[in-house]
Amino acid sequence: MYIREKITEQVKKIISDALNQAVESGALAIETMPDLFLEIPREKEHGEYSTNIAMQLPKQTKKAPRFIAETLVANMKTADSYIESIEIAGPGFINFKLKPYWQYAVLAEVAAMKADYGRSQKNAGKKFNLEFISANPTGPMHMGNARGGAIGDILAAVADWTGYDVTREFYINDAGNQIVKFGDSLDARYRQLMGEDIPFPEDGYQGEDITEHMRVFIDANGDVHRLMTPEERKPILIDYALNKNLTKMRSDLEAYGIRYDVWFSEQSLYDSGAIEKTIELLGKGGFTYEQEGALWFKATAFGSDKDDVLIRANGLPTYFMADIAYHMDKFVNRGFNRCINVWGADHHGHVARLKGALSAVGIDAANFDVVIMQLVRLLRNGEVARMSKRQGKAIALTDLIDEVGVDATRFFFNLRSPDSHFDFDLGLAIEQSNDNPVFYVQYAHARICSIIRQMAEELDQAIPLDYSRLVEKEELNLMEMLSNFPDEILTAEDKLDPSRITRYAIDLAAAFHSFYNACHVRVSDKALMKARVALIEATKQVIQNALGILGVSAPERM
């Protein structure tokens, strides 16, 4: 258990013991114990911890908040604890001031745990599935996928650090209508390249990549497919181009620092019979009915405002149907305890009905959550530009990474919480990449590395390491920041908000830069120097760990 958590538990116990004591002695009459919530006050004068419990009890106890607070404080036993003093303030806050230098413990913790500092066992033994991006495999990925990629990959890392056994998963939409369209587009380009004068389908994929696929295909295969009927040829073209696209996606994503554990094919749900099984299960539960030749799901029974089609009148299952089977596979066949998907805001309408359907097949929908990420709006010179994959006007993910860099791209797209809407001006991003906050954090790391390199020879091994030499407020503040890291990860997981880690990294870097300017490491007092080297080494380690979660490099020189 980390120092911060240890102290929090201790303070909570002291409060609840005091409360019990007060009740037993008859000083306070309480029927239901209130939830104990400790907060870390914004103002340092209010101590390290504060509780508002006395202000939650007047109704039950029929006593004034100040009186309750005084009674509680009188019952608190703080001997052998981290608490230095307790104070009642304002309308009835109880503020706890910790004994000086409790922060030193964190330096030993970081030194001991190193690259694992910040990890916890909270979710040990549980399987976590994170599905993200899952872009249509009908063309190259665009800039919009960059945000989902950063959010998903980093949230997966966060979950991993809380003890989960994490699987990163890409759902390949290789079935359904868009594949039909894909085939039509490929076939049209094929025939055009073969010299036929035929029109391109109106709603086809107009991107240059489709034509390029067919050009390469023809180079390799000549005209052996020319005399086939389109119906014979399309599956061959689709298979060819889909494989090409998936290979490209895989390598593009690896270049973006994302490696998936599972690439899950939608088509496999049809092939394995998973879809039929799910239909049967839903039917048995009485959640389906037929109408106008289609099979419907009673989504209204789960709070939706209308029912949804599972099987179309033409006999083909909908995407929704496949998605139910897909998530059943995750929970039931593969035994995941928790499944999270990252979806763009344009799919949010799908969440409620999928949760409903999962409940219908007996899955606890509370273990399934969707992080809805607001869409990135692309600006060009301050004007809104539409992104459309079908028209091939999107900015490719690879171009973005080439121009802005992997580190800056991942950092930038994980800087704001997923539900913030944000505008992305490509010109501005490239221009700004020089004072992108990612460099601020990396710079702190490089600075530390530089100092450590130079201190290596000057350190006196004979002098014992004595943390108590660290008393400056910048030093104490830095240690406090380090002690908050484990909790920051837990909160990020709990709130499904990986952007907290990015902002933590910035705050930590800021605490270091302040320290750097206030305190020199190279000082004539060798014992002080040694203690400060220990402090910056711990800082370096935590920056590394944080950047590691973000998938951003921690350069030793800049």
| 289 scored as a contact of RNA (CB under 7 A) | no
Q: Note every long-range contact of 365-370, with CB atoms under 8 Å and residues 24 or more positions apart, other chains counting.
A: 367/331, 367/337, 367/338, 367/339, 368/327, 368/331, 368/338, 368/339, 368/340, 368/341, 369/338, 369/339, 369/340, 369/341, 369/496, 370/340, 370/341, 370/342, 370/343
Residue with Cβ nearer RNA (13 or 259): 13
Question: Binding of RNA at residue 211 (CB under 7 A)?
Answer: no
**Is residue 446 at the binding interface for RNA, with CB under 7 A as the rule?**
yes
Exactly one of 26, 32, 45, 199 binds RNA (CB under 7 A); that residue is 45
Q: Is residue 523 at the binding interface for RNA, with CB under 7 A as the rule?
A: yes
Nearest CB to RNA, comparing residues 144 and 152: 144
Q: Which stretch binds RNA (CB under 7 A): 7-15, 70-78, 447-455, 460-468?
A: 447-455
Site string for RNA, 367-386 (x = CB under 7 A): -----x-xx-x---------
Nearest to 256 by CA among 349, 149, 339: 149
Distance from C-alpha of 411 to C-alpha of 37, rounded to nearest angstrom: 32
Total residues interacting with RNA, rule: CB under 7 A: 87
Span 94-153, contacts to RNA by CB under 7 A? 95, 136
296 pairs with which residues across the strands?
A: 289, 309
The verdict on 303 binding RNA (CB under 7 A) reads no
Q: Give yes or no for a contact between 334 and 324, defined as CB atoms under 8 angstroms apart.
A: no
Strand duo 338-344 + 127-131: pairing:
parallel
Report the alpha-carbon distance of residue 98 to residue 47 in Å, rounded: 7
| Residue owning tokens 């939830």 | 35
Q: Are strands 165-172 and 127-131 parallel, antiparallel or unpaired?
A: parallel
Round to whole Å and give the CA distance between 245 and 553.
Answer: 28
Region 6-35 residues binding RNA, contact defined as CB under 7 A: none
Measured at the CA of 130, the angle between CA 128 and CA 131, to 5 degrees, comes to 145
Nearer to RNA, 31 or 45 (CB): 45
Candidates 32, 121, 229, 434; binder of RNA (CB under 7 A) is 434
Determine if 471 is a binding residue for RNA (CB under 7 A). Answer: no
Binding of RNA by 503 (CB under 7 A): yes
By CB under 7 A, residue 421 contacts RNA: yes
Residue 337 makes contact with RNA by CB under 7 A: no
Which residue of 239, 261, 346, 364 would you call a contact of RNA, by CB under 7 A? 346
Using only the alpha carbons of the chain, give its radius of gyration: 29
Asked if residue 73 binds RNA (CB under 7 A), the reply is no
CB of 256 vs RNA, minimal distance in Å: 21
Q: Is 284 in the site for RNA (CB under 7 A)?
A: no
- Round to whole Å and give the CA distance between 444 and 513: 7
- Regarding 416 and contact with RNA (CB under 7 A), the answer is yes
The region of 37-45, 120-128, 149-157, 465-473 touching RNA under the rule CB under 7 A is 37-45
Is 292 a residue that touches RNA (CB under 7 A)? yes
**CA 228, CA 132: separation in Å to the nearest integer?**
38
Stretch that binds RNA, among 187-195, 334-342, 356-364, 438-446 (CB under 7 A): 438-446
Q: Rule CB under 7 A: is residue 4 a binding residue for RNA?
A: no
Please tell me the distance from the alpha carbon of residue 457 to that of residue 167, in angstroms, as a whole number: 45
Residue from 156, 361, 505, 521 in contact with RNA (CB under 7 A):
521
Q: How far apart are CA 129 and CA 368, in angstroms?
A: 10
